[in-house]
Amino acid sequence: MITLASRLDAVAPSASVVMTQRSRELAASGNKVIALTQGQPDFPTPPHAIEAAHRAALEGQTKYPPLAGTAPIKEAIRRKFRRENGLDYEADEILVGNGGKQILYNAMMATLNPGDEVIIPRPFWISYADMARLGGATPVPVDCPQSNGFKLRPEDLEAAITPRTRWVVLNFPNNPTGAACTRAEMRAIADVILRHPQVMVLSDDMYEHLLYDGFEFCTIAQVEPALRDRVLTVNGVSKTYAMTGWRVGYCGGPRALIKGMTNMQGQSTGGASSIGQAAAVAALDGPQDFLAERAESFRIRRNLVVDLLNEARGVTCHKPEGAFYVFPDISGCIGRTTPGGRRITTDAEFAMALLEEAHVGTVYGAAYGMSPHVRISYAINPDDLREGCARVQEFCQSLR
């Protein structure tokens, strides 16, 4: 008999993975499924990054890499932080991990104890709360309603902080909403955190380069240098450079924290792929002009999907500042019945009915802590995106 650890009781399967898998099953049965579930760019990895990985392999860079990252990638990350964020980290204040997710997990596991609290603006990326629970801490969600553009209000943050607060998680541009903070809005958040010296900030900046309409990115350690020694600035090459499968994430932060995170990484996986690190160096140091071109493509798709979803009966879709997600409110569809005879009482039921009856994959909002919403990724080709939104319109219109 297999007995699983009780800690798994605190961990739910990723809803995006579940919905993506169900989409694949339906497609394998011969259905044309339009999956708007996955959070990865549909662009190719830059050729110069692939070429750098090829050279590294041919040169024999195929052995165990240094646990915290190779010297070349640490220097490339240092240059990136200085160039783009005005942050100056030493090499021993930088850690490279097997994707951004491992960086976040390392941070939680290296710092949390039972009784600690982690403040997470809601809606939130699925894994933050589960990681906090695995570390023995209590996730403390703080609502960021659509009426406020899904942004964190400083007064709500202030009200949530207690002596047990260990971390505040910031993810702007945000998954699942695409919301981003202006410098003034980030300044107001920083002012709250300055008043609470026990609080650290986990700044997940993975969507940094996906901003539209002239919106300028800022990160909290840049806005308030006095917080530098309490901030872990997390990033990676996955979203910016369309390198999700290369599994390279990185961070800059206080030396003692980085040391603890490195120790945690050494007992869970090890150094990130040496070939992936070589590719990441090329991406970080190479041409950056194509990023604006890709962001413009996403901006056009964002406008398309927002306009089409707002024409759907019972749906209200906010136009976000960044990332490649929208998080429409589907409250007008709750309580209705599908052509297949399903009565929709939750956003999870809406998402599954939409998938199984209209063959459009989305992720239900409850997975991100806020209902009734669904998350839609527009990181797919415009023709499929247009058809997917048309199917959503038809599905919503058919509800009775």
> What does the alpha-carbon distance between residue 162 and residue 384 come to, in Å, rounded to a whole number?
47
Instruction: Please identify, among 257, 285, 313, the residue that sits at the C-terminal boundary of a domain.
Output: 285
- The answer to the question of residue 372 being in a domain is yes
Number of neighbours of residue 153 by Cβ within 10 angstroms: 18
Query: Are both 93 and 23 inside the same structural domain?
Result: no
* Number of compact structural domains in the chain: 2
Range of the domain at 168: 47-285
Closest CA to 96 of 224, 284, 231: 284
- Give residue 73's pLDDT: 98
Query: Are both 10 and 92 inside the same structural domain?
Result: no
> What does the alpha-carbon distance between residue 311 and residue 166 come to, in Å, rounded to a whole number?
43
- Give residue 190's pLDDT: 98
- Give residue 362's pLDDT: 96
User: β-strands 249-252, 231-236: how paired?
Assistant: antiparallel
- The answer to the question of residue 27 being in a domain is yes
Angstrom CA distances, 391 to 158, 364, 371, stand at: 42, 17, 22
DSSP string, 222-258: HH-GGGGGGEEEEEESTTTTT-GGG--EEEE--HHHH
In this prediction the pTM is 0.95
- The answer to the question of residue 30 being in a domain is yes
CA dihedral of residues 113, 116, 118, 119 (deg, nearest 10): -170
Query: Are both 175 and 239 inside the same structural domain?
Result: yes
Query: Are both 372 and 259 inside the same structural domain?
Result: no
Query: Are both 295 and 326 inside the same structural domain?
Result: yes
- Give residue 273's pLDDT: 97
- The answer to the question of residue 121 being in a domain is yes
- Give residue 6's pLDDT: 87
Closest CA to 235 of 221, 224, 225: 221
Query: Are both 117 and 61 inside the same structural domain?
Result: yes
Angstrom CA distances, 244 to 124, 150, 315, 363, stand at: 20, 26, 31, 19
- The answer to the question of residue 220 being in a domain is yes
**Do 364 and 15 touch, CB atoms closer than 8 A?**
yes
Query: Are both 264 and 384 inside the same structural domain?
Result: no
Instruction: Please identify, among 234, 254, 285, the residue that sits at the C-terminal boundary of a domain.
Output: 285
Which structure tokens are listed for 287? Answer: 């041409």
> What does the alpha-carbon distance between residue 95 and residue 92 come to, in Å, rounded to a whole number?
8
Question: 226: domain CATH number?
Answer: 3.40.640.10
pLDDT by position in tens, the chain (length 400): 898 998 888 787 778 788 888 888 998 989 999 999 988 999 999 999 999 999 999 999 999 999 999 999 999 999 999 999 999 999 999 999 999 999 999 999 999 999 999 999 999 998 999 999 999 999 999 999 999 999 999 999 999 999 999 999 999 999 999 999 999 999 999 999 999 999 999 999 999 999 999 999 999 999 999 999 999 999 999 999 999 999 999 999 999 999 999 999 999 999 999 999 999 999 999 999 999 999 999 999 999 999 999 999 999 999 999 999 999 999 999 999 999 999 999 999 999 999 999 999 999 999 999 999 999 999 999 999 999 999 999 999 999 9
Question: 390: domain CATH number?
Answer: 3.90.1150.10
Number of H helices, E strands in the chain: 13, 12
Query: Are both 184 and 294 inside the same structural domain?
Result: no
- The answer to the question of residue 1 being in a domain is no
Burial of 341 (0-12, 13-18, 19+ CB in 10 A): exposed
Which structure tokens are listed for 280? Answer: 């990441």
Query: Are both 278 and 333 inside the same structural domain?
Result: no
- Give residue 98's pLDDT: 97
- Give residue 123's pLDDT: 98
> What does the alpha-carbon distance between residue 14 and residue 7 come to, in Å, rounded to a whole number?
16
Query: Are both 365 and 260 inside the same structural domain?
Result: no
Query: Are both 223 and 365 inside the same structural domain?
Result: no
Closest CA to 70 of 337, 248, 241, 292: 248
Alpha-helical regions (H) of the chain? 15-28, 47-58, 71-80, 100-111, 126-134, 154-160, 183-194, 220-223, 255-266, 274-285, 289-309, 347-358, 382-398
- Give residue 229's pLDDT: 97
**Do 15 and 347 touch, CB atoms closer than 8 A?**
no
- Give residue 325's pLDDT: 98
Query: Are both 65 and 134 inside the same structural domain?
Result: yes
> What does the alpha-carbon distance between residue 18 and residue 320 come to, in Å, rounded to a whole number?
25
- Give residue 22's pLDDT: 87
User: β-strands 363-364, 374-377: how paired?
Assistant: antiparallel
- The answer to the question of residue 120 being in a domain is yes
Instruction: Please identify, among 259, 285, 311, the residue that sits at the C-terminal boundary of a domain.
Output: 285
> What does the alpha-carbon distance between residue 339 and residue 291 come to, in Å, rounded to a whole number?
43
**Do 138 and 233 touch, CB atoms closer than 8 A?**
no
- Give residue 176's pLDDT: 98
Burial of 287 (0-12, 13-18, 19+ CB in 10 A): exposed
